[in-house]
């Protein structure tokens, strides 16, 4: 859908949510191939008529540029003339314009990019006494004042215990191929990310499982099945998600992840599947989420600073994004926050909310490649938060367009991976 059409839905969103009668629309939208049956069922599960209308307006913005005229025809066929006229009148200026080139916002490609495999920027030290590669540590330098096996033990009582082997389950969801009706492109290079994460977490003593090409409903089911397992004998749980993503309204955790059918599941819902009340056998234990997906469709051009960090400009491949349009639900002033307290949870995002996340078709995503490299180099001596800072620092130095990972941290203690 074109930007002007999405703006049209946003402009009239409140009236649509208040007045739209959704029940008579389902069969028409299915017959006219505006949505698949699974997508319609997902919308119907949103709740009340108002909730369904809100979700319908949101999902319409992820469809192609023919979605608006088809939806208007459905409104007319069901006698909702006022709403049809509202959208038609507002859309008049669009029909008067020359037909633009159909560039899909979900697959924005930059020409003249970088070859990720050729680029090995140093992961710069973040604090005094910290080095990003063991070979960078000067001879005789003191890395930590109190160490045991290379780790700082000055706060032993504030470190999560990982004694079990395996120390926990690691579920990787790798969405590569998307349905044609979703309007989402194939995520070339994601299999490379998947293999890296599989090998890395297996080396870190996790029982790794991979699920591929899941719909939004399938993603929810796989995550629910993981949460319903007995984790009593385990010390941790890890979820890695590789997919297209979008910006979405939230209370605690931003963003949403697309299934291969084009429907989405919010990060907030994913995290809360593993809350203490829903997954008691993981209560008090760290639950880690690593998400490689766009947080929106904005491109960050960065800003100039005085820095000695080299910017990679090597040509070769065309990095792609995992972006789809912003899902805005700001018509919900009466929404009530009633989610469980997210204790012992860390969610690591590949990019800042609202911005794209770059992926090289030949070597995988910037975020996963850097995360894997940092874990390989430093997991035996640094805690997770420190390593994620290293990842953010390194990724932020890459490319003409910019990207910076970040995290929402609700861990209560320091977390060290098991490496021996």
Contact (Cβ atoms closer than 8 angstroms) between residue 227 and residue 234: no
Q: What is the CATH number of the domain that holds 347?
A: 3.40.50.1460
Same domain, 366 and 395: yes
Q: What is the pLDDT of residue 103?
A: 33
pLDDT tens column, 374-419: 999 999 999 999 999 999 888 887 655 667 888 899 999 999 999 9
Choose one of 64, 95, 126: the last residue of a domain. 95
Q: Comparing 125-139, 230-244, 269-283, which segment has the lowest mean pLDDT?
A: 125-139
Is 107 a domain residue? no
Per-residue model confidence (pLDDT) at position 13: 87
Phi-psi region of 277 (alpha: psi -120 to 50; beta: other; left: phi over 0): alpha
Distance CA 289, CA 170 (A): 10
- Residue with the larger pLDDT of the pair 408 and 156: 408
Residues 72 and 122 in one domain: no
Give the tokens for residue 416.
């060290």
Asked if residue 350 lies in contact with residue 300, where contact means CB atoms within 8 angstroms, the answer is no
Token code pair at residue 93: 């200026």
Residue 315, C-beta contacts closer than 8 angstroms, at least 6 positions apart: 112, 113, 114, 115
Same domain? For 54 and 144 the reply is: no
Catalytic-role residue among 198, 205, 231, 244: 244
Residues 237 and 375 in one domain: yes
pLDDT-derived band at 6 (thresholds 50, 70, 90) equals confident
Q: Which of 37, 62, 95 is a domain's end point? A: 95
With beta carbons less than 8 A apart as the criterion, state whether 286 and 346 touch: yes
Q: Evaluate if residue 304 carries a pLDDT over 50.
A: no
Q: CA torsion sign, 22 to 28 to 34 to 38?
A: positive
The per-residue pLDDT of the chain, averaged, comes to: 76
> Does 212 reside within a domain?
yes
Note the helical H segments in 45-189: 49-60, 67-77, 81-90, 92-95
Which residues, listed in sequence order, are joined to residue 4 by a DSSP beta bridge? none
Q: Annotated catalytic, 246?
A: no
314-318 average pLDDT score? 46
CA 252 to chain centre: 14
Q: How does residue 320 score in pLDDT terms, banded at 50, 70 and 90?
A: low
Q: Is residue 103 part of a domain?
A: no
Q: Is the pLDDT of residue 118 over 70?
A: no
Give the count of domains, the chain: 2
At residue 113 the predicted structure's pLDDT band, cuts being 50, 70 and 90, is very low
The mean-pLDDT minimum among 166-170, 228-232, 252-256, 338-342 falls in: 338-342
Same domain, 155 and 75: no
**What average pLDDT does the segment 66-72 reach?**
89
pLDDT at 169 (0 to 100): 98
At CA 192, angle to CA 190 and CA 198, rounded to 5? 105
Same domain, yes or no, for 257 and 227?
yes
Q: Which of 82-86, 248-252, 369-373 has the highest mean pLDDT?
A: 369-373
User: In the listed set 95, 125, 157, which residue is the last one of a domain according to the structure?
Assistant: 95
Distance CA 357, CA 374 (A): 19
Sign of the C-alpha dihedral computed for residues 352, 356, 360 and 365 taken in this order = positive
Specify if 416 maps to a domain: no
- 405 occurs within a structural domain: yes
417 is a domain residue? no
Q: Which of 151-160, 170-179, 267-276, 345-354 has the lowest mean pLDDT?
A: 151-160
| Residue 420 placed within a domain | no
pLDDT > 70? residue 210: yes
Span of 113-127, 268-282, 396-410 with lowest mean pLDDT: 113-127
Length in residues, the chain? 420
pLDDT for res 152: 60
Q: Which residue has the higher pLDDT, 29 or 130?
A: 29
Q: Could you give the CA distance from residue 265 to residue 104 in angstroms, rounded to a whole number?
A: 21
The answer to whether residue 256 is domain-embedded is yes
**50 and 147 inside one domain:** no
Domain CATH code at residue 74:
1.10.533.10
Q: Would the CA dihedral through 275, 279, 284, 290 be positive or negative?
A: negative
Average pLDDT over residues 36-45: 87
- Whether 128 and 221 map to the same domain: the answer is yes
In tens, the pLDDT along 321-354 reads 554 443 443 333 333 333 335 589 999 998 876 5
pLDDT bucket at 89, cuts 50 / 70 / 90? confident
210 and 334 in a single domain? The answer is yes
Domain around 64: 3-95
Tell me whether residue 244 is one of the annotated catalytic residues.
Answer: yes
pLDDT at 395: 84
What is this structure's pTM? 0.58
Verify that 195 and 278 share a domain, yes or no: yes
Q: What is the distance of C-alpha 188 from the center of its chain?
A: 16
Residue 411, Cα to own-chain centre: how many angstroms? 20
Please tell me whether residues 144 and 83 are part of one structural domain.
Answer: no
- pLDDT surpasses 60 at 160: yes
Residue 121 in this model has a pLDDT that exceeds 80 = no
Instruction: Say if residue 138 is in the same domain as residue 48.
Output: no
> Measured over all CA atoms, what is the biggest interatomic distance in the chain, rounded to whole angstroms?
81
Q: For residue 3, what pLDDT is reported?
A: 78
The burial class, CB within 10 Å (0-12 / 13-18 / 19+), for 192 is buried
């Amino acid at each position: 859908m074109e930007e002007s059409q999405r703006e049209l839905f946003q402009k009239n969103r409140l009236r649509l949510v208040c007045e739209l009668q959704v029940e008579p629309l389902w069969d028409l939208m299915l017959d006219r191939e505006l949505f698949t049956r699974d997508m319609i069922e997902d919308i119907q599960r949103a709740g009340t008529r108002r909730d369904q209308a809100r979700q319908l307006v949101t999902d319409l913005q992820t469809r192609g540029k023919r979605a608006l005229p088809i939806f208007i025809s459905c409104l007319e066929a069901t006698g909702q003339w006022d709403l049809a006229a509202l959208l038609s009148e507002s859309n008049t200026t669009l029909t008067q314009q020359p037909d633009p080139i159909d560039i899909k916002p979900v697959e924005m490609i930059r020409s003249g990019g970088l070859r990720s495999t050729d680029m090995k920027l140093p992961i710069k030290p973040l604090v005094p006494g910290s080095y990003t590669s063991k070979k960078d540590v000067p001879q005789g330098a003191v890395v930590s004042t109190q160490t045991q096996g290379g780790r700082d033990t000055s706060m032993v009582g504030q470190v999560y215990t990982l004694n079990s082997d395996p120390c926990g389950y690691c579920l990787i969801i790798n969405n590569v191929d998307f349905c044609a009706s979703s309007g989402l492109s194939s995520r070339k290079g994601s299999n490379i990310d998947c293999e890296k994460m599989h090998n890395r977490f297996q080396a870190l003593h996790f029982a790794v499982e991979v699920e591929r090409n899941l719909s939004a409903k399938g993603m929810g089911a796989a995550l629910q099945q993981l949460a319903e397992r007995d984790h009593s004998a385990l010390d941790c749980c890890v979820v890695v998600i590789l997919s297209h993503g979008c910006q979405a309204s939230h209370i605690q955790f931003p963003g949403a992840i697309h299934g291969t059918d084009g429907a989405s599941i919010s990060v907030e819902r994913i995290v809360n599947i593993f809350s203490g009340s829903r997954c008691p056998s993981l209560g008090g234990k760290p639950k880690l989420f690593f998400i490689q997906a766009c947080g929106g469709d904005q491109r960050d051009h960065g800003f100039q600073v005085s820095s000695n960090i080299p910017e990679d400009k090597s040509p070769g491949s065309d990095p792609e994004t995992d972006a789809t349009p912003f899902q805005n639900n700001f018509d919900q002033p009466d929404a009530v926050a009633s989610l469980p307290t997210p204790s012992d949870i860390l969610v690591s995002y590949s990019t800042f909310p609202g911005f794209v996340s770059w992926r090289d078709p030949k070597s995988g995503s910037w975020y996963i490649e850097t995360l894997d490299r940092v874990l390989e180099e430093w997991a035996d001596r640094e805690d997770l938060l420190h390593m994620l800072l290293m990842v953010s620092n390194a990724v932020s130095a890459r490319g003409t367009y910019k990207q910076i990972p970040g995290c929402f941290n609700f861990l209560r203690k320091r977390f060290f991976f098991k490496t021996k």
